[in-house]
Chain A
């Protein structure tokens, strides 16, 4: 159990770090040296890991490639270095086949008290673990140099851990950079005999990883821990890891645990009303039979909905919400814990945070350590509604399946209607004396009519692929503001659309008769393609598919040429027309983005460049959502607009 003695040691390190900050060393090498010295004092193996900043470049060919195929860049300089400090405790009686990773991001250049505190917590745990005898897995403590971002440092270390390069073409060694040389005079620790090494140290297969952060400025009224779990493409760590953290934090350390919420939803009145209805229903049910406990309070309902919405949103985005995302790329379960201490500034609070945070980390590490097998028993596919509640795949897939189930049925019925309508009109026009031969001919033509629409749909999807490739070209243009880039993108997209339309899609020169039903066939084929796209996406990233389906399914199902509705002139057709127009506006990806952003952050902050920045982050992180928007959503929207504007 973490005792005061370890906390004192952690506090000492915090003080040393903060005082070395005051000295303001230029490269921050001093703090790395302090951390490494402390690690050596414990008898741990300390080493440093140098890495280069790797810029995220969009490369269409590398989109699906694994993270190891980083592009080697030759012209590195000393200035673009980051230095991770790694300490490893070998389990005294373990066989060294597995390891648990503890990560604390630390920016030596401008570190606040929060970062120093997170290192203090990690250090006090580390000093405890260097003495315990129950350790079965090695412990790796990575102090990630977050000057180029937390994620970059962690992913660089993981890349070197999992897929090292033995032939180094970039001949930049430690000798060229004098700063790093200074680290090497740490050498051997006289007390513990542990050695400092510049070579990369390893310790077995990673079982789990914890990223620990302390936010300095917070206005919480009690010590809070927030858990971030979403990795790239909506992958989640095993639910058991979150459960362990949540259980230990709530029941052992008395900390308040929270997960990310959409704050704007908390104040929405309609949710509150809905929640109150549920609450009263639950009350009635409970009064009837005290064993029925499905009722939840209105506030709980609203909070659960806000959490669920945020969980869905971050999974749909496909971007990792913290450095833990780098671990998920190698199938390692990882989460980020952010400790938000109660607002206070005295020293006593520091040791309290160190003690409670340290005990929590110790408990989690001990739980993982005691596991014989890696996490596999619990869920990997889930949406969180609170730190202790979740919606599992078996439940949320039903909603999604019901949402997209009408698509194939409608597509089939439209196709059948369109082909029978064609036949009927044909047979009406043809005189009864027409031979059976021509009738059969028309039937064969009619049954192949859908090919024309399929061609159109295919072309629009091709255009979608082109549109999603255009940013690669735009990136090559130097000095572009996001707004201009976005404008160029829109212009190029429209240009390519017009070219495609004029070159390939012009032969819409069918008979007038076939035009009447042409829109129905286009709609049918569109709906089937949307169905396929959504089905595929639900396997890759469920949340994206869910949100996409919410926008696209009503749009696809409602789409009907405006002319027809205008001609009909009834109230029903008028309301359908209005619905079509509104959906056509909302479902346009940039429009949807701006609307959502406006609703969440207020419309004042919305500008055109924001969308470009958002899209840039999507492709920089190889998010499948980008492909989904470019190749499923956008073509579907274009096709629906095509149907709306159809001349029939």
Chain B
């Protein structure tokens, strides 16, 4: 990768298409721009986005990767061993990691500034990664391991076109010309998986750590369903044939030329190992029956499917360690096509074919155990994929054959993990931790300061069938203003990373100039460990009743009002004066009618009439009379109403 000589700026655009076993198509866009950072131009570039170069220079970023993902990579049917899944399958939401070339004490500050810059650049809430509770510093389990690494994820970040547009702005032709024309928003967001990634590498020139060159790789991986599938479902005979597709049918657009600024502009079609093996098998059967001898040379030019355009080159994977055959790559150069004759690759299957993608040695899944709001447990279960037996068979005969698995897991602080409760089960038998875990690094979480980080190296026997790790946790309580807006949904635990350092996801093609020229193919040849992400988890925590403060305020105000009202009333009232006032009033009001009535009632009761002796009594009598009057009137009204309706 090191570009020793002073290079001019370069831009390459490539697209890789790959049929997937479950009737879907993978499209992987790969754009690479590189620039040398010299002060000769005064910090200006021809092609390279200036924002990125400024960012690299300012924060001294050595390597950085930012990915926006929607949907999940289906490791079981889309494969987990090839370079594409192991470097492009990302957890849902935003993932950001960066390596800095600054002294230890400045790293956190650089990271925080970087998150804010990226947040502005990509219209995303990456700035939430600023808080120390959201990012962590893995020591060695994350593959580009280095002490200056910071890693953070936002599992709940929604990905949309507003994140894609700034990403496209970094390309010299945007989506106006070249392969990027295919990026039709409705079709790429209709897919089953959508991951947009930005990878930065800067190469220092040694002295004073000055940045001399930057390589910016922008990839977009989408998994799409060809449209023709539904129509074909009706016919039973067609159901077994994989759907045929073309660029127009999956993207609704076609390539009408290259981006003129691009140095190379290629489209590749990749048939993975399983598919090739299956095709070869079918081919052999055909050969037996038909006896018309294809040689292995023209097998690839007359395969069981039809391409609308002739490939310019065919690459066959050179060294397949695996029994499974080797993958085949067709190369199409877009330069040959123009506005009048647009490039529209289409693939039509002729015979039904069923294959399986190559899996990572172990399939990892993670889930929560337990119920209730008090405690729970996280379990990581690793299941052997039977397919891996083939390439593990070579060294499986040894007595001590180990399969190394690295686990990296970040847990937010409110999920209080008890690291002593770690349990390991291999083949459904509990094992001592020291037997299985070779190396472990734990940094416990600090409340409201930092998340808990667990890094582990597991040594499992090669013939392992299943393994499981469980670790218990208590659910913590948050302060009321620490709850996110949708607190009742639950809280996310970001994906764990499972990597297999003994296995390298690489495809080595025949040594050729053209392979080295293509950034995508040279990327494939890099030896990177197989990696997979587990599911993000959702932990329901206790949430307070958020309307409670309102209720409390209301009831407190009511109580205060009652208290102060009555207190003031008592303080202000002069009792004696009031009584005197009432007396006067009563004396005035005892008219003749009341006297008559009281006399009458006294007669009716057969007692001697007493004149109203005490004014309070008479006042109560008046009140009773008033009430009586009111009732009488109301009764009359009721009767009136009832009678006339």
- A residues near B, CB below 8 A? 43, 66, 68, 90, 92-98, 131, 133, 162-164, 166-168, 188, 190-195, 199, 202, 204-205, 284, 287-288, 329-331, 372-374, 376
Q: How far is the CB of A256 from chain B (nearest CB, A)?
A: 33
Q: A95-B155, A166-B425 are in contact. Are A374 and B488 (CB under 8 A)?
A: yes
- On chain B, the residues within 8 Å of A331 by CB distance are 371-373, 540
The number of inter-chain residue pairs (CB within 8 angstroms) is 113
Q: Which residue of A lies closest to B492 (CB)?
A: A97
Using Cβ atoms and an 8 Å threshold, which residues of chain B touch A90? 72, 74
Contact with A along B451-494 (1 / 0, CB 8 A): 00000000000000000101000000000000000111110100
CB-based closest 10 A-B pairs: A193-B22, A373-B488, A97-B538, A166-B425, A95-B92, A330-B371, A193-B21, A166-B468, A373-B489, A205-B538
Cα distance A191–B487 in the bound complex, in angstroms? 41
| A288-B641, A331-B371, A374-B490 as given contacts; A190 in contact with B354, CB under 8 Å | yes
Ordered by A's residue number, 21 sampled pairs between the chains whose C-beta atoms are within 8 Å are A66-B371, A90-B74, A92-B71, A95-B71, A95-B92, A96-B72, A96-B535, A97-B155, A97-B537, A162-B371, A166-B425, A166-B428, A168-B428, A191-B239, A202-B367, A287-B645, A288-B641, A331-B540, A373-B486, A373-B489, A376-B543
Give Cα distance in the complex from A330 to B540, angstroms.
12
Residues on A with beta carbons closer than 8 Å to the beta carbon of B538: 97-98, 204-205
Chain A residues positioned under 8 Å from B70 (CB to CB) = 93
Residues of chain B lying within 8 A (CB to CB) of residue A202? 365, 367
Q: How far is the CB of A494 from chain B (nearest CB, A)?
A: 41
Q: Hey, which chain B residues are within 8 Å of A192, CB to CB?
A: 22-23
A193–B21 CA distance with the chains assembled, in angstroms: 6
Bound-state Cα–Cα, A133 to B187, Å: 13
- Residue of A98, A133, A204, A372 near B486 (CB, 8 A) is A372
Q: In the complex the two chains form, what is the Cα distance from A376 to B352 in whole Å?
A: 50
B489 contacts A374, CB within 8 Å?
yes
Contacts of B540 in A (CB 8 A): 205, 331, 374
Q: Which residue of B lies closest to A202 (CB)?
A: B367
- A492, B540: Cα distance in complex, Å: 47
Does chain A have a CB within 8 A of B593?
no
What residues of B have a CB within 8 angstroms of the CB of A93 in the complex? 70-71, 192, 194
Q: What are the residues of chain A within 8 A of B352 when measuring CB–CB?
A: 190
Contact partner of B470 (CB less than 8 A), chosen from A166, A190, A288, A374, is A166
Closest to B430 in A: A167
Q: Identify which of residues 28-65 in chain B touch chain A, using a CB-to-CB cut-off of 8 Å.
A: none
Q: What is the size category of the interface that chain B forms with chain A?
A: 35 or more
Contact of B536 among A95, A188, A284 (CB under 8 A): A95
- Determine the distance from Cα of A192 to Cα of B24 in the docked complex, in whole angstroms: 10
A306 to chain B, nearest CB (A): 32
A164 and B379 within 8 A (CB): yes
The residues of B that contact A194 with a CB separation of less than 8 Å are 22, 77
Across the interface, do A205 and B368 meet the contact criterion of CB distance under 8 Å? yes
The residues of B that contact A284 with a CB separation of less than 8 Å are 642
Q: Closest CB of chain A to B643's CB: distance in Å?
A: 10
Residues on B with C-beta less than 8 A from A66 are: 371-372
Q: B369: CB under 8 A from chain A? A: yes
Residues of A within 8 A of B604 (CB): none
Contact yes or no, A287 B642, CB < 8 A: yes
At the interface, yes or no: B253 with Cβ under 8 Å from chain A?
no
Contact status B536-A96, CB under 8 Å: yes
Say how far A127's CB is from chain B's closest CB, in angstroms: 11
**Cβ of B625 under 8 Å from chain A:** no
State how many angstroms separate the Cβ of A471 from the closest Cβ of chain B.
28
Question: CA A94 – CA B159 in complex, angstroms?
Answer: 12
In the complex the two chains form, is A92's CB within 8 Å of B192's CB?
Answer: yes
Greatest chain B CB density within 10 A among A93, A98, A163, A373 is at A93
A97 CB contacts on chain B under 8 angstroms:
155, 490, 492, 535-538
Question: Which B residues between 369 and 391 are near A, CB-CB below 8 angstroms?
Answer: 369-373, 379, 381, 383
Which of these, B93, B192, B370, B381, contacts A162 with CB under 8 Å? B370
Contacts of A287 in B (CB 8 A): 641-642, 645
Given A95-B93, A205-B368, A372-B489, decide whether A193 and B354 contact each other with a Cβ distance below 8 A.
yes
Q: How far is the CA of A192 from the CA of B20 in the complex (A)?
A: 11
Roughly how many angstroms separate A148 CA and B239 CA in the complex, as a whole number?
A: 39
Instruction: Kindly provide the distance from the CB of A607 to the nearest chain B CB, expressed in whole angstroms.
Output: 40
Instruction: Give the CA-CA distance A333 to B76 in the complex, in Å.
Output: 31
Which residue of chain A is the closest to B638 with respect to CB atoms? A288
For the complex formed, measure the closest distance between the CB of B451 and the CB atoms of chain A, giving whole angstroms: 18
Bound together, the chains give a CA A428 to CA B71 distance in angstroms of 90
**Chain B 413-447 against A: per-residue CB contact (8 Å), 1 yes, 0 no?**
00000000001010011100000000000000000
Q: How far is the CB of A285 from chain B (nearest CB, A)?
A: 10
The residue in chain A whose Cβ has the minimal distance to the Cβ of B468 is A166
Given contacts A192-B23, A374-B540, 20 further A-B contacts (CB under 8 A): A92-B71, A93-B194, A97-B535, A163-B369, A164-B379, A166-B379, A166-B425, A166-B428, A188-B354, A188-B356, A192-B22, A202-B365, A204-B535, A205-B539, A287-B645, A329-B371, A372-B486, A373-B487, A374-B488, A374-B489
| B233: nearest chain-A partner, CB-CB | A191
Q: How far is the CA of A168 from the CA of B486 in the complex (A)?
A: 39
